[in-house]
Amino acid sequence: MNNKIENPKVAIVMTAFNVSAVLPKTIEELPRGCADEIFLVDDCSEDNTVEVAKELGLTVLSHKTNRGYGGAQKTGYLECIRQDFDAVVLVHGDNQYDPSQAPLFVSKILNENYDVVTGTRMIMGDVLSNGMPLWKYLPNRFLTALENMTFGTELSDFHNGYRAYSVNFLKKVPLELLSEQFDFDTDIIIQAAIRRAKIAEIPHTTRYNDENSQMPFLKGVVYGLSILSTVAKYLLHKIGLRKREMFNVSK
């Protein structure tokens, strides 16, 4: 269990790809003083995201080539580890997840000794009325149930993108072995599960507006298949048929 940290250093990692139009709104909704530094990880945007971010006073970490959503998170988390932050919260630059709730996520890390905090869209009962397509909702329910059974967790929304982490937890995770794409969020929650990390959930609504990035149907299918593949790989690792380094847990 973590001890309460005096004068903790808190960072926001903001993944960004072509979000110049909505980025000022995202920053405006962040409560003032909720973090010591905001790292915007620009994943090779084709618009003026970098210029807008700098005008807003953000610390920009730029990729020379597009690495993907997971790759952007890795860059941000490694920088937080390098600079010895205590907690980090992931905020999406496209404003899909309400930035005003970021302090609630951080508080669970700093004041309640959680290692990982993840959002959940499934408790408030408004996810479908808020615009989540049925083709996303039904696979989410199936995959979440499968993953809870496989990894011994009791999460209501395994595939939520609103996250906060203790940097001490991130130091234990083999980030380089995790996905560079959207299934990074699943990979890292699996890392928390197999390490018996302390995980909390925070209910929240999600925005499905035109300004928010949406995963198209075909990418959603690929994403779902990648999750099934990861579960199968873990089960093969667990029974000893094919060991994989990413599932090894140091004592």
The two beta strands, 87-92 and 163-166, are antiparallel
- One-letter-per-residue 3-state SS of the chain: CCCCCCCCCEEEEEEECCCCCCHHHHHHCCCCCCCCEEEEEECCCCCCHHHHHHHCCCEEEECCCCCCHHHHHHHHHHHHHHCCCCEEEEEECCCCECHHHHHHHHHHHHHHCCCEEEEECCCCCCCCCCCCCHHHHHHHHHHHHHHHHHHCCCCCCCCCCCEEEEHHHHHHCCHHHCCCCCCHHHHHHHHHHHCCCCEEEEECCECCCCCCCCCCHHHHHHHHHHHHHHHHHHHHHHCCCCCCHHHCCCC
Distance CA(222)–CA(32), nearest Å, equals 38
Domains recognised in the chain with CATH numbers: 10-242 (3.90.550.10)
Distance CA(51)–CA(171), nearest Å, equals 31
Q: Which two tokens stand for residue 98?
A: 């309400």
Q: Are 88 and 78 in contact (CB under 8 A)?
A: no
Distance CA(82)–CA(68), nearest Å, equals 21
Per-residue pLDDT of the chain (251 residues; tens, 9 = 90+): 446 778 999 999 999 999 999 999 999 999 999 999 999 999 999 999 999 999 999 999 999 999 999 999 999 999 999 999 999 999 999 999 999 999 999 999 999 999 999 999 999 888 898 888 899 999 999 999 999 999 999 999 999 999 999 999 999 999 999 999 999 999 999 999 999 999 999 999 877 765 445 678 888 899 999 999 999 999 999 999 999 999 999 75
Q: Are 157 and 119 in contact (CB under 8 A)?
A: yes
